[in-house]
Chains A and B, each alone.
Chain A
Amino acid sequence: MNNPASEPSNKNEGPSPEVVAELVARARQSDEDAFGELVKLFHGRVYGVIYRMVSDVEDARELEQQTWVKAWQRLDSYKGDAQFFTWLYRIAVNSVLDHGRRSARRKEVSLDEEPDREPRPAVEWQRPDDGRPDRGLERQEVQEAFERALDQLSPEHRTALILREVEGMSYREIGQVMKCRAGTVMSRIFYARRLVQEQMKGMR
């Protein structure tokens, strides 16, 4: 394997596997405090992935809570064959994808009955300000174009791209999370990059 051209920031961060394994073992014995430690250790990353997938604060909070509750209920099914966060992300990603499918169905049913939700605020792109006012406008345009481009992606393509770019997961790990082959992950990420690139043409 070659070294990736741009290594995402979250890779290799976090608690040691030994600490996680011990907390998981205790949590499996119904030790709530140990489970609470796991929540606190992984909350930021889990919430980050979910938020990037749904781009909505309330949905993200609700889905993260669902993820942790399901994780507690399913701790016995964690065999330790994958990393804990991979197992956890699988629950989170499935919760988000299920939520997306339910929302899509609700939208289909009630398209003529309910007004659309308020448009969500554009996610801020935090690049150091160089003091030029025109840069702010340009950045906002780029950000909006990026948001629109992300909206064009299916949840599966978006998820694969986020897990790679933000979490730095390998194709194999993403495949474990999304229950698909590494080849499928590769093609989803490639397609997502191409589509976002195409949508953002002329923004720079």
Chain B
Amino acid sequence: MKLEKQLEQLSRKRDGELRPHEAELGQGAEHAAELAEAERAWTEVGELLRNQAIPVPPAEVVWNNVRRELRQISGRRPERKVSVFDWNWGWLAASAIVLILLGFVGVRLMLPTTADAAIPRVEWVEAELPGSSAMVYEDEASGAVVIWLMTPEEGTVGEAGI
């Protein structure tokens, strides 16, 4: 096995990230001297990092500063952002159903009633009697359309209701 590969395995072994079958591969490693040197050097690197003298400020001071800044910002956390996943889908569905029903009712109210729709429209009446004239009107009492036909000599000759 190449030195670089063995070093990489050594690195993972130190971190507890080596799989068992890899551990077997690593046994009887070549380049023992280089691996021992790396092991020693990396141990020292870890010690140097862990043994750094760190001037940690007192926790109480840190918290006081944090609290002051929080209160300066606004005292409270920002309002929770509403995510689509936070919606109450039950209420949303109920609202949608109500809106659809209201829409149906509205359309229904705007449409003409059955009675209105049944009233025939008379646009034109033609009589074959010379000099006659026709009068068309809607009788308010019955709602029927009345057609009067008048002749010069005989007066009204016919009346039809629809």
Contact = CB atoms under 8 A, between A and B. Distances in A.
A79 B52 CA distance: 34
A23 to B, nearest CB: 13
Interface in A3-50: 3-6, 8-9, 30, 32, 36, 39-40, 43-44, 47-48
A40 B41 contact: no
Contacts, number: 140
B16 A170 contact: yes
Interface stretch (B76-84, B112-120, B125-133, B135-143): B76-84
Interface residues of B, number: 46
Interface stretch (B6-14, B90-98, B152-160): B6-14
A36 B77 CA distance: 14
A75 B77 CA distance: 9
B77 A166 contact: no
Contacts of B57: 47, 61
Residue of A3, A5, A123 contacting most chain B CB atoms (<10 Å): A5
B52 A123 contact: yes
Judged by DSSP, the binding face of A is helix
Contact of B70 (A32, A165, A186): A32
Interface string B38-79: 110111111111111111110110110111011001001110
A123 B53 contact: yes
Interface residues of A, number: 54
A39 B69 CA distance: 14
B43 A6 contact: yes
Contact of B59 (A5, A44, A171, A194): A44
B55 A57 contact: yes
Contact of A189 (B11, B60, B77): B11
B17 A36 contact: no
B14 A6 contact: yes
B15 A30 contact: no
Given A8-B46, A39-B63, A197-B41, A189 B15 contact: yes
Interface stretch (A62-70, A81-89, A90-98, A112-120): A62-70
Contacts of B42: 193, 197
Contacts of B144: none
A197 B45 contact: yes
A192 to B, nearest CB: 8
A40 B60 contact: yes
A165 B67 contact: no
A61 B42 CA distance: 29
B53 A126 contact: yes
Given A8-B50, A123-B52, A1 B19 contact: yes
Nearest to A74: B77
Contacts of A52: 49, 52, 54
B162 interface: no
Q: Which 6 A-B pairs have the closest CB atoms?
A: A4-B16, A124-B53, A197-B41, A5-B14, A40-B59, A165-B46
Given A44-B59, A186-B8, A197-B41, 15 more contacts: A1-B18, A4-B15, A5-B14, A6-B14, A40-B60, A48-B56, A52-B54, A65-B69, A68-B62, A76-B80, A165-B45, A165-B50, A171-B17, A193-B11, A196-B41
Interface of B: 7-8, 11-20, 23, 38-39, 41-57, 59-60, 62-63, 65-67, 69-70, 73, 76-78, 80
